[in-house]
Structure 1
Amino acid sequence: MKTKLYIDNGQFQAGITLKTEMEPEKNNMALHACVNPNDVIENRRNLAVSLGCTLEDFVCANQTHSSNMQKVSLADKGRGAERLDTAIADTDALYTLDSNLVLCGFTADCVPVIFYNEVKGLVGVIHSGWQGTVKEITRKVFSHLQQAEQCDPADFHVQIGSSLSQERFEVDQDVYDKFKALGYADEFMYYNETTRKYHIDNQLTVKQQCELAGIPLEQIAMDTTCTYDSPSGFSYRQDKQCGRHLSFIMRK
């Protein structure tokens, strides 16, 4: 299985690609972290076929661990799909009100957030590594959508994708302090006396940000697969040369 589908309800289709030993570059989907760009493009084309669309329907961003978001439209079709220099610059969240656009996010331990709003026909993806989490990118996106797009938080459905587990995400005091400063992440952290490291649950912190944004708990799903421990996971912490998962969502 090369893809895990999270949502496939006729109107919305969303999921995450998986590391697969038999595929070129193990099914790596990232042009910014690859050996052969043509292999990545071929992997993306195969994904497009499985989704019943073409690679030209993809929209990708150059992610920078920012809290920047971008509204995209059909005019952005194909950006970043085959070339890095056409991707949406310096952006870690994409959303659209247009159908038949595949919004893409890339991760290898960071938390992918995929969401849709049935009432507005709006879909989006967020890349929230620990830096994005302490910048509260997820909370900012939903706040923006409430104000700029008149979305009701109660209408959002969120899927938090697989990422680095709390057990594997060990950090020093400086990162702990940043999470501590959020004021609501204390219960998602613990200190290991033996290693003198802090362990943080980035997923649950992001989930908390969704709840603080007003999204009903029962409309937030979470894939707790650890990208470090799973054979189908790309983990930057485990291998600095690893590929990337592609999280996607499309409204048909």
Structure 2
Amino acid sequence: MKTNIYLNNETLIAGMTIKDGAKLENNNMALHACETPEDIIDNRKKLATSLHCGLDDFVCANQTHSSNFHRVTLDDKGRGAEQMDSAIEDTDALYTYEPNLVLCSFSADCVPVIFYNKVNGLIGVIHSGWQGTVKEITWKVFEHLTKVEHCNPSDLHVQIGMSLSQEKFEVDEDVYFKFKNLGYADDFMYYNYQTNKYHIDNQQTVKRQCELAGIPTDHITIDQTCTHLDVNGFSYRQDKQSGRHLSFIMRKSD
């Protein structure tokens, strides 16, 4: 199983699957964007095997580019793992304190955020496409964790996965203004006079949201691989029929 493993130690494993022409549907992991659901299930089972767990340990959401998040409990185990209609509805971020659950997030160009708390064992994933970013889903999740779950932001560590690069993230004025209205994204945008398009660095904007939520800059790591330019990437902008990467994190049993 070709996977970018971002973290693998005694207590945590986290990573992101990558495109692989030798696998079924190029190692696509998404039931909502596939040709043959059975092939996706097979790909997911192979990922589960590589993580030394079962597919029924996966927890998936029906992502809608929202700013909604969900605290995962053992009752959610297996949701969305083999069929879409059991996935957690209308949710783009998941977090849990439970061990041996694989929290999943799907993306092709959108920014995947994987995080963990070294002190209390909390883990989570966030799906932040440009719509999620302008809705500030990442900031809202970390604000919630601070205020409701009583996390110290200094205990949080963040891995931002590969996504569409600023070079390839071209937008018109309407999207540019949505980012500009955030008040902190100006440094992450430029205008291309030849194409009359704006270019936005969604990863850096998400990173800034993490920092604004109090997470130390040196606790934030970015995979700068571009899903459009790299052969290992699924890119919706490049191919509307593209598959999806699966970003994941699991806390191993104590």
Fold similarity call, TM over 0.5? yes
Q: Which residue of 1 aligns with 2:190?
A: 190
Equivalenced residue count is 252
Amino acid at match of 1:35: E
Shift of 1:133: 0.1
Q: Which residue of 1 aligns with 2:132?
A: 132
Amino acid at match of 1:85: D
Q: Which residue of 2 aligns with 1:211?
A: 211
How is 1:1-252 mapped onto 2 (pairs within 5 angstroms)? 2-252=2-252
Amino acid at match of 1:69: F
1:94-152 deviation digits (Å, cap 9, x = unpaired) = 00010000000000000000000011110000000000000000000000001111000
1:166-195 deviation digits (Å, cap 9, x = unpaired) = 000000000000000000000000000000
Distance in 2 of aligned mates of 1:195 and 1:162: 25
Distance in 1 of aligned mates of 2:104 and 2:10: 19
Amino acid at match of 1:60: C
Three-state SS of the structure 1 residue aligned to 2:174 is helix
Q: Structure 1 stretches (4+) deviating beyond 4 angstroms? A: none
Shift of 1:2: 1.3
Identity %: 70
Three-state SS of the structure 2 residue aligned to 1:164 is coil
Shift of 1:73: 1.1
1:30-67 deviation digits (Å, cap 9, x = unpaired) = 00000000000000000000000000000000000000
1:1-29 deviation digits (Å, cap 9, x = unpaired) = 61110011111100000000010000000
Shift of 1:74: 1.2
Distance in 2 of aligned mates of 1:169 and 1:105: 21
Three-state SS of the structure 2 residue aligned to 1:6 is strand
Question: Gapped runs of 5+ residues in structure 2?
Answer: none
Distance in 1 of aligned mates of 2:198 and 2:61: 31
The alignment yields a C-alpha RMSD, in angstroms, of: 0.5
Three-state SS of the structure 2 residue aligned to 1:104 is strand
Amino acid at match of 2:209: Q
Distance in 1 of aligned mates of 2:163 and 2:103: 19
Three-state SS of the structure 2 residue aligned to 1:203 is helix
Three-state SS of the structure 1 residue aligned to 2:243 is coil
Distance in 2 of aligned mates of 1:73 and 1:2: 29
Amino acid at match of 1:37: P
Three-state SS of the structure 2 residue aligned to 1:70 is strand
Distance in 2 of aligned mates of 1:41 and 1:3: 17
